[in-house]
């Protein structure tokens, strides 16, 4: 979103040639492998590539509508939502503020890529700290699109319930933890108040409705391409694991009560998949990884991953970011371990 500084022109250029090289390389390798198939060096490689393609496209096609819905609603929120109204009507006391913040996502469905910029705008307009933090952590999960995609993947069952319940609980407790700090300047970065050129979107009142819709769609298209990358990476990794690595060797890792949770937590951070579609990636792991570890992936990933940490750093002081990562990490770990040890 708007806080990722745009790259300098020369870097953009090299970005193009670099990515073109990668694409050409990828294509060439695929073609060469395909052509050299009957050489029976790896007799099953061709079939395995097909398995990879089928699983990868399965995840991609199933996740695509949800990613589109998420980015679309993010664009609409950005263009149509009045930040002033939102900040003004938020409760002041810590617990109600945290509760209200955590459930804000139900009305404004956006994934984690949209929450940080929105939270930043709201902080600037005076939203209480517990509300903003709880919103930041809960909104990527507690929203209609993510509920729908999780239910599509896992059914209306215990995975969905635990995901929602634990995310809510974690968001509220972290929000409350930050309410101890009275002075928000200790939490937020100072430059947040400094408005750079073109950082704040000013939407003139004389924009017509259609112009606003157009604006929202442009924003969502940008976000779609930005977030689509993470989906492609995540789906590739999940498909590679399924196509090339035998389930029995994965099971050794995936059924270890501690190791499985640690691995899934690490994956949640590294993959940085948009919360609207992470359920489909997680689904692929459920066969081999324990329930607790998959659940910890589903609650931790939307709160903390590479891209959200990068965005946190733009808004909060380093110490705050440290706790924003540590507290959800410990709680997700605890939840995953609890399920692996105490639940069948």
**Interface positions, 108-137, toward another protein (CB under 8 A):** none
Q: 131, 80, 65: which is closest to 274 by C-alpha?
A: 65
Residue 142 CB-half CA count within 13 A: 25
Residues 258 to 287 in contact with another protein, rule: CB under 8 A = 280-281, 283-284, 286-287
> Judged by CB, which is closer to another protein: 32, or 106?
32
Scanning 52-60, 118-126, 175-183, 328-336 for contacts with another protein by CB under 8 A, the matching segment is 52-60
Q: Is 31 an interacting residue with respect to another protein (CB under 8 A)? A: yes
19-51 burial code (b ≥16 CB/10 A, e <16): eeeeeeeeeeeeeeeeeebeeeeeeebeeebee
> Rounded to 5 degrees, what are φ and ψ at 199?
-80, -40
Name which position in 74, 220, 272, 340 contacts another protein (CB under 8 A).
220
Q: Is 68 an interacting residue with respect to another protein (CB under 8 A)? A: yes
> Judged by CB, which is closer to another protein: 89, or 206?
206
> Judged by CB, which is closer to another protein: 3, or 338?
3
Q: Minimum Å distance from CB 305 to another protein? A: 17
Q: Is 83 an interacting residue with respect to another protein (CB under 8 A)? A: no
Q: 119, 115, 105, 150: which is closest to 299 by C-alpha?
A: 150
> Judged by CB, which is closer to another protein: 60, or 312?
60
Q: Is 343 an interacting residue with respect to another protein (CB under 8 A)? A: no
3-class DSSP assignment, residue 177: helix
What is the rounded distance in angstroms from the CA atom of residue 112 to the CA atom of residue 102?
Answer: 13
Name which position in 106, 218, 258, 330 contacts another protein (CB under 8 A).
218
Size of the site for another protein (CB under 8 A): 84
What is the dihedral angle through the alpha carbons of 322, 328, 333, 336, rounded to the nearest 10 degrees?
-160
Q: Is 60 an interacting residue with respect to another protein (CB under 8 A)? A: yes
Q: Minimum Å distance from CB 283 to another protein? A: 5
- 224 CB contacts (<8 Å, ≥6 apart)? 67, 68, 71
CA distances from residue 244 to 16, 45, 51, 76 in whole angstroms, order as listed: 30, 9, 9, 41
Residues 146 to 165 in contact with another protein, rule: CB under 8 A = 152-153, 155, 157
> Judged by CB, which is closer to another protein: 171, or 295?
295
Name which position in 238, 271, 298, 325 contacts another protein (CB under 8 A).
238
């Amino acid at each position: 979103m708007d806080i990722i500084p745009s790259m300098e022109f020369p870097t953009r250029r090299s970005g193009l040639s670099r990515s073109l090289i990668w694409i050409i390389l990828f294509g060439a390798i695929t073609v060469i492998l395909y052509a050299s198939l009957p050489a029976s060096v790896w007799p099953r490689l061709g079939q395995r590539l097909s398995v990879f393609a089928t699983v990868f496209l399965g995840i991609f096609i199933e996740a695509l509508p949800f990613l589109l819905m998420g980015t679309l609603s993010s664009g609409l929120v950005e263009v149509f939502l009045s930040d002033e109204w939102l900040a003004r009507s938020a409760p002041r006391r810590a617990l109600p503020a945290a509760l209200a913040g955590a459930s804000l996502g139900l009305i404004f469905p956006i994934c984690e890529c949209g929450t940080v910029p929105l939270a930043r705008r709201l902080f600037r307009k005076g939203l209480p700290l517990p509300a903003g933090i709880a919103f930041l952590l809960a909104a990527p999960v507690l929203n209609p699109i993510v509920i729908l995609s999780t239910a599509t993947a896992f059914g209306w069952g215990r995975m969905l319930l635990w995901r929602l319940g634990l995310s809510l609980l974690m968001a509220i407790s972290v929000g409350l933890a930050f309410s101890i700090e009275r002075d928000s300047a200790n939490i937020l970065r100072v430059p947040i108040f400094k408005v750079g050129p073109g950082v704040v979107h000013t939407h003139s009142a004389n924009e017509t409705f259609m112009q606003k819709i157009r604006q929202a769609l442009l924003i969502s298209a940008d976000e779609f391409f930005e977030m689509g990358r993470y989906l492609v990476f995540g789906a590739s990794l999940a498909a590679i694991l399924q196509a090339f690595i035998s389930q029995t060797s994965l099971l050794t890792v995936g059924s270890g009560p501690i190791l499985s949770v640690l691995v899934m937590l690490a994956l949640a951070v590294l993959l940085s998949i948009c919360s609207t579609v992470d359920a489909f990636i997680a689904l692929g792991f459920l066969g081999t990884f324990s329930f607790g570890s998959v659940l910890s992936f589903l609650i931790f990933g939307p709160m903390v991953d590479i891209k959200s940490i990068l965005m946190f750093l733009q808004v909060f002081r380093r110490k705050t970011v440290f706790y924003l990562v540590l507290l959800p990490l410990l709680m997700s770990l605890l939840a995953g371990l609890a399920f692996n040890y105490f639940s069948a």
